[in-house]
Amino acid sequence: SCCVQVDRVDRLPPSLSTRRIPSTVVGLGGGRYGIFITSKHLQASDPDSPAEELEFSISRPPQFGYLENALTGAYIRGCFTQRDVDQRAVAFVLPADMEVTADSFQFLLTDPAGNTMLPQ
């Protein structure tokens, strides 16, 4: 008889090395305004995975505005990656019909092996 013990190589969850509140409103075209969420605001890291493969899964979307991929124009419904953040593709779009001074969303940060950081 032979026993095998399997030790997962990637056991550590990713972490946030930077989390700052973005606030600079810019024109997005078509009369729309938004705030880019860049690597200056959100920077994830993981000892076992490339940062661009780390995924932010939205557990609670913004209450007033919404998240959009600024490169494709598509709504960001479920998740975005650190690569998206690094490419300035993640924008919080302000609602046109109300004066919003603050909003937020929650996310889970996960690496390709499925290790997840606690909700943020």
Residues 7-42: tens digit of each pLDDT: 656 678 899 988 888 999 999 988 999 999 999 999
Q: Give the residue numbers spanning the domain of 62.
A: 15-117
CA torsion sign for 15, 20, 91, 66 is positive
What pLDDT, on the 0 to 100 scale, is given for residue 115? 92
Residue 10: burial class (beta carbons within 10 Å; 0-12, 13-18, 19+): middle
What pLDDT, on the 0 to 100 scale, is given for residue 97? 85
What pLDDT, on the 0 to 100 scale, is given for residue 120? 66
Tell me, yes or no, whether 5 lies in a domain: no
What pLDDT, on the 0 to 100 scale, is given for residue 83? 97
Query: For 52-103, how does the pLDDT look when each residue is reduced to its tens digit (9 = 90+)?
Result: 999 999 999 999 999 999 999 999 999 999 999 999 999 999 998 878 888 9
Tell me, yes or no, whether 98 lies in a domain: yes
Tell me, yes or no, whether 9 lies in a domain: no
Domain count, the chain: 1
Tell me, yes or no, whether 57 lies in a domain: yes
